Chains A and B, each alone.
Chain A
Amino acid sequence: MTLRQQLACFAAIAAAQLFSCSRPQPTPSGVVIEIKSPLGLPRLETPADNPPTSETIALGRRLFYEKKLSADGTLSCASCHSPTAGFADPRRFSVGVGGKLGARNAPTVLNAAYSPVQFWDGRSPSLEDQAGGPIANPVEMNMSHDLAVGRLNADPEYVKQFDGAFGPGPITVLKLQRAIASFERTLLSGNSPFDRYFFGGERSAMSPAAIRGLEIFNNAKRGNCSVCHKIGEQNAPFADGKFHNIGAGLNAEGELTDLGRFTQTKDEHDKGAFKTPTLRNIAQTAPYMHDGKQKTLKDVVDFYVGGGNSNPYLDKEMKELKLTGEERADLVAFLEALTGDIPANSGPPK
């Protein structure tokens, strides 16, 4: 082979590699649809490279309930984000493949689409990225991405459905993540009694107790809850997308057992800080806090009345609250008014 031939061959290989790398991303091939936000939620932003389509949403829904994605075929996303438990887990810690126990309480998927980052410690920047995490996590579904994709590629039904959603081509993990993320974007909860009262002007939508609870919730000198669980003028995310240390998760000796956000940032101030969870459908998603220690909403209110747990990194907004018994009950009534409708077509596909 002459030098020229060698160079030509090398160039051809390089070009082929370049071509394969710049292969079009698996963007959905179908007609883009708009996911309508219910009353009380902002307009939903969707990523330019993964706009929602009916096909990807339907595929994502099937994958969300697909047990093939776990090593032993026993678990799906819904095993720990159950539609009958507000898309969360009623157990303190979720149980993974082989009975392995997770270290944090599974948060709800409802309205996760609005969260700027995913997981309690914010380690994932998007729903797409997040969707890949639990599949491979050894204490969750414990399944390598290659194996998961292999199982789907071996199923003609899935091949057909993926082709319909992304155009012809092999099933890839990125397509799987995008489909699940698109389905999760439809899991929006709004139009709760609170939304109908506060944004819809329906004065009888909330009970008098819940109305009094709202006042305490919003009042910086009383409950001061909305300092992190935000209520806006147009909509109410009941979160701030930030991380706070409220002292949850201390052991008997008063030490932090989970450093939370610090594990990602290594910033001292983030020790024991966790992402503010949404409070929507909170009455359905017991137990509470990242460690699932609080069993009831009353326990949660009592925890805050007590000022959380002291530790060197406690958020400055955490203070002992002076609330009467009735006021504490009013706060619980308000939290119970945050249960919105679970969208249709969110349960296991027929």
Chain B
Amino acid sequence: MIKRLAAAATFLLAAACSPAPETKPADPTADSTAYTEIDPSRAGVVTGKVVFTGKGPVRQKVDFAEDPNCAKLHKGEFFNDAIALNNNGTLANVFIYVKVGLEGKKFRPPTTPATITQKGCWFEPRMLGIEAGQPFHAINADPLTHNIHPRTANSREWNQSQDAGADPLIRKFARAEIMVRIKCNIHPWMKAWVGVTEHPFYAISGNDGTFAIKNLPAGKYTIEAWQEELGTQQQEVTVTAQGTETLSFTYKGE
């Protein structure tokens, strides 16, 4: 009898003292996903450049007709360079990413935001890379109202107006998507692209046409280049530990 009482008392004590798991508030920062840790000693680099051959694109002037206040933000003409040809015959703003080879791996998304800025009634940058789950910030640096409208297919589509001086809009893209077009519903000429990946292995070619995907675990991959007018190209590559693989993508003009 005494034993049973003691057992009951112990049970009660335990029930009273141990935190009940179901009443414990969920920690919103807790993430139980088993992420892949990258070992730099067993990873390499994919680098290279994007070359353009043939006749260069005819530069298109931006028509600010829908909002004359936008034209006032520019001195002289302003160009819409869908094909961003560099002085050295290479292309900028080409999105290069690992398309195949990382299946089954999950990488912790960064907590630092990827930011797009509306300035001069234009998106900066025109090409942005972000990971699914990473914070996306949109800033209005203009003295007028904008509207951010990512035309997503894999994540929930949204649009929101942003008046001058407003706080940055803060969102996330839930799932990978190559490529999300960003619109401004108010200024139809404004266009940007966001490449949403589920890993950090992407790069955007710069003003010298080069790119580098660093810290990529050794293995076989399909690398894709994406250009908004000229389309996609793919190349196979085998990355070795501490090795550097150099690729060259070539787009031909008309």
A328/B66 in contact, CB under 8 A: yes
User: Which of B66, B163, B169 sits near A325, CB closer than 8 Å?
Assistant: B66
Q: Give the interface segment out of B102-110, B152-160, B191-199, B222-230.
A: B152-160
Tell me if B245 counts as interface (CB < 8 A to partner A). no
CB within 8 Å for A305 and B169 given contacts A310-B157, A325-B67, A325-B68: no
Q: How far is the CA of A253 from the CA of B166 in the complex (A)?
A: 12
**Beta-carbon contacts under 8 Å, A233-279 to B:** 247, 250, 252-254
B159/A293 in contact, CB under 8 A: no
B159/A252 in contact, CB under 8 A: no
CB within 8 Å for A254 and B158 given contacts A295-B163, A303-B145: yes
Tell me if B115 counts as interface (CB < 8 A to partner A). no
Tell me if B168 counts as interface (CB < 8 A to partner A). yes
A293/B163 in contact, CB under 8 A: yes
User: Which of A250, A302, A307, A324 sits near B145, CB closer than 8 Å?
Assistant: A302
Residue of B nearest to A293 (CB): B163
Tell me if A218 counts as interface (CB < 8 A to partner B). no
Tell me if B246 counts as interface (CB < 8 A to partner A). no
A307/B185 in contact, CB under 8 A: yes
Residues of A within 8 A of B169 (CB): 252-254
Residues of B within 8 A of A309 (CB): 159-161
User: Which of A298, A303, A328 sits near B161, CB closer than 8 Å?
Assistant: A303
B157/A305 in contact, CB under 8 A: no
B168/A306 in contact, CB under 8 A: no
Q: How far is the CA of A325 from the CA of B64 in the complex (A)?
A: 9
Residue of B nearest to A287 (CB): B163
User: Which of B64, B66, B157, B167 sits near A323, CB closer than 8 Å?
Assistant: B66
Tell me if B170 counts as interface (CB < 8 A to partner A). yes
Residues of A within 8 A of B64 (CB): 325
Q: Encode B135-163 as 1/0 by CB contact (under 8 A) with A.
A: 00000000011010100000001111101
Q: How far is the CA of A302 from the CA of B68 in the complex (A)?
A: 13
Chain B interface size range: 20 to 34
B68/A310 in contact, CB under 8 A: no
Q: Is the interface of B mostly helix, strand, loop or mixed?
A: loop
Q: How far is the CA of A252 from the CA of B164 in the complex (A)?
A: 14
Q: How far is the CA of A252 from the CA of B161 in the complex (A)?
A: 10
**Beta-carbon contacts under 8 Å, B44-81 to A:** 64-68
Chain A interface size range: 20 to 34
Residues of A within 8 A of B158 (CB): 254, 310
Tell me if B178 counts as interface (CB < 8 A to partner A). no
User: Which of B66, B144, B170, B185 sits near A252, CB closer than 8 Å?
Assistant: B170
Q: How far is the CA of A324 from the CA of B144 in the complex (A)?
A: 16
Q: Which of A252, A306, A323 has the most CB of B within 10 A?
A: A306
Tell me if A308 counts as interface (CB < 8 A to partner B). yes
Tell me if B128 counts as interface (CB < 8 A to partner A). no
A252/B167 in contact, CB under 8 A: yes
Q: Which of B68, B160, B164, B167 has the most CB of A within 10 A?
A: B160
Residue of A nearest to B147 (CB): A306
Residues of B within 8 A of A305 (CB): 147, 185-186
Residues of B within 8 A of A250 (CB): 160
**Beta-carbon contacts under 8 Å, B18-60 to A:** none
B161/A306 in contact, CB under 8 A: yes
Tell me if A294 counts as interface (CB < 8 A to partner B). yes
Q: How far is the CB of A295 from chain B (nearest CB, A)?
A: 7
Interface CB pairs A-B, < 8 A, 21: A252-B166, A254-B160, A254-B169, A293-B163, A298-B145, A299-B145, A302-B145, A302-B147, A302-B186, A303-B145, A303-B161, A305-B147, A306-B159, A306-B184, A306-B186, A307-B185, A310-B159, A320-B159, A320-B185, A325-B67, A325-B68
Q: Taking A302-B161, A308-B161 as given, write out 11 further A-B residue pairs in contact, using a Cβ cutoff of 8 Å, ordered by the A residue number.
A: A252-B167, A254-B160, A254-B171, A295-B163, A299-B163, A306-B145, A307-B147, A309-B161, A310-B159, A320-B185, A324-B65
**Residues in chain B within 8 A of chain A (CB atoms):** 64-68, 144-145, 147, 149, 157-161, 163-164, 166-171, 184-186
4 A-B pairs with the lowest CB-CB distances in the bound complex, closest first: A306-B147, A306-B185, A302-B145, A309-B160
